[in-house]
Amino acid sequence: MARPHRDFLPAAVGLILCLGLAGRALAAEPLPPRVTFAGTLMLPDTAPAADGRGDVPVTGLSGVTWLGEDRFAAIMDNSDRLLLFRLAFSRTGVPEAVSELRVVMLGERLDYEDVAACPPRLLERIAEKRRARGDAVPTNCLLVCEEQTPALRAIDIDTGVLLGIVPIPPIAKTRRHNRGLESLAIEPDGSHIWTATEEAVPADGPGSTSTAGTVVRLMRIAVPGAESAKGEAQFAYAVDPPHRFVRVFTGEPLSGVTALAVLDRGRLLVLERAAGPGLPPFFSSIYLVETAAAPDVTDVPDGLAVRDDLHVAKTLLWQDALGCNIEGLCLGPALPDGGRALVAVADNGGLGTPNQLIGLVLRETPRAVDATAVGGAAAIVGVALLLVRITSPSPCSTR
């Protein structure tokens, strides 16, 4: 019987190593996702109150969140109102129709700025505490951030009752007036909450000016009672300066962070909004930031504006004026064409402009291929195959 030639072993090992090199080249780091505009949809000026007390105005939409399937919730700033609705999309992510709108009246009027689905472990913790006190136990809850106190608050989605407060980092309480907690998002596994102030807290540096942006802290806060390998953290994020505009009236421009959306692997979508007293009045940008390897600035007490070395890198995915004040952003359902819906809301600011939903689509980009590495690996694989051919015994030979 023919036996393998002993010189075949090193050639085979070389072949395996070369194939591994080719595999690494093909599994290069993924490129950033793409965000594209899909369309807009007008919302009505009024919606029925959930308690049946007639229609109430819909205005000042400041944050939005996805509740699963086709259900969404949007919060109204400087109010005591939460809007619930269903939203239908086309196959390509165009927002086509809203239905079943109703307004839940909240237990307290505050300057609510964003909303997110309540993590399951937090809802369990709230239920345990209320049950122990003999209070009514909620079956569903939402988280809202408000910059008036400021605070992160849990609310009963069915009754509007305020259920409790999630502690925030002390530095977030030192916010500038009307530039406090503006954004809110939840990690996919429900272990952490993300939030940020709209502009820098005074200790970190100035707010935005006509020629300069501002530096905010992206804050990752542990959900009480949830287990995770990741701890709490803060990351320094530099906001762009306000956009260029043709001045029409007096006033100062501004720019800041108005919403966050969490992807995976420490990746965030950050919505920046700039406003100016002219045309165009607003300009919005969506950036991708990767926090997994970014420096944690929790223990840096101040001065982040001048610490460029600590600023997290950001990649521009989308920007446009669109003629509206985009304040809220959330991930939505997966789309039949392979993308992921993104839904934004525009704040009409009580100016009589339309309430709008803005449809965007997020698409992950296929992994990049390092052509040089692939070419080199292919050449070495070719040599290895030749060696295998030379050193292998002939099928007809015997020993």
Instruction: Write the pLDDT tens digit of every residue in 118-136.
Output: 999 999 999 999 999 999 9
Instruction: Give residue 294's pLDDT.
Output: 97
Distances (CA, A) of 169 to 96, 164, 298: 40, 16, 9
Q: What percent of the chain has pLDDT over 70?
A: 83
The CB density around residue 33, as the number of other CB atoms within 10 Å, is 18
Query: How far is the C-alpha of 176 from the C-alpha of 150, rounded, in Å?
Result: 11
Selection from 350, 322, 323 nearest residue 58 by Cα: 350
The number of angstroms, rounded, from the C-alpha of 35 to the middle of its chain's C-alpha atoms is 12
What confidence tier does 225 reach under pLDDT thresholds 50, 70, 90?
confident
In this prediction the pTM is 0.86
Check whether 22 has a pLDDT greater than 90.
Answer: no
Cα pseudo-dihedral 260, 262, 267, 270, rounded to 10: -10
For residue 75, pLDDT over 60 is answered with yes
Q: How confident is the model at residue 251 (pLDDT cuts 50, 70, 90)?
A: very high
Average pLDDT value for residue range 203-218 = 97
| Sequence spans of domains, the chain | 1-29+369-399, 34-363
| Number of Cβ within a 10 Å radius of residue 315 | 12
Using CA atoms of 286, 287, 292, 295 in order, give the dihedral in degrees to the nearest 10.
-120
* CA 358 – CA 35 distance, rounded (Å): 13
CA distance 349 to 281: 13
Give dist(CA 343, CA 40) in Å, integer: 10
- Per-residue model confidence (pLDDT) at position 102: 97
Q: What is the pLDDT of residue 28?
A: 57
**pLDDT on residue 373:** 47
Residue whose C-alpha is closest to residue 285's, from 275, 295, 271: 271
pLDDT at 375: 52
Q: Regarding the domain delimited by 34-363, which CATH topology (the fold level of the hierarchy) does it fall under?
A: Tachylectin-2; Chain A (2.115.10)
Count of C-beta atoms within a 10 Å radius of residue 264: 8
Residue 61 tokens read as 């939409």
Q: In what order do the strands lie in the sheet with 192-197?
A: 181-186, 192-197, 215-222, 233-238
Contact 243, 319 (CB under 8 A): no
**What band does 367 get if pLDDT is binned at 50, 70 and 90?**
low
pLDDT tens, position by position, 291-321: 999 999 999 999 999 999 999 999 999 999 9
**Which one has a higher pLDDT value, 243 or 368?**
243
Sign of CA dihedral 162, 165, 170, 172: negative
Q: Choose the weakest-confidence range: 9-18, 47-56, 167-176, 216-225.
A: 9-18
Range in 14-28, 100-114, 251-265 the model is least confident about = 14-28
Report, in angstroms and rounded to the nearest whole number, the Rg of the chain calculated over CA atoms: 26
The dihedral region occupied by 77, where left means phi > 0, alpha psi between -120 and 50, and beta the remainder, is beta
Backbone φ and ψ of 81, nearest 5°:
-130, 140
Residue 380 burial (C-beta neighbours within 10 Å; 0-12, 13-18, 19+): middle
* Angle (CA) 313 315 321, round 5°: 125
Average pLDDT, whole number, for the chain? 87
CA trace torsion 242, 346, 259, 253 (10° rounding): 20
Tokens of 199: 């502009």
Higher pLDDT, 13 or 159: 159
Q: E strand or H helix at 390, and its extent?
A: helix 371-391
pLDDT of 379 over the 90 cut? no
CB atoms within 10 A of CB 371: 9
Closest of 235, 64, 49 to residue 145, by C-alpha = 64
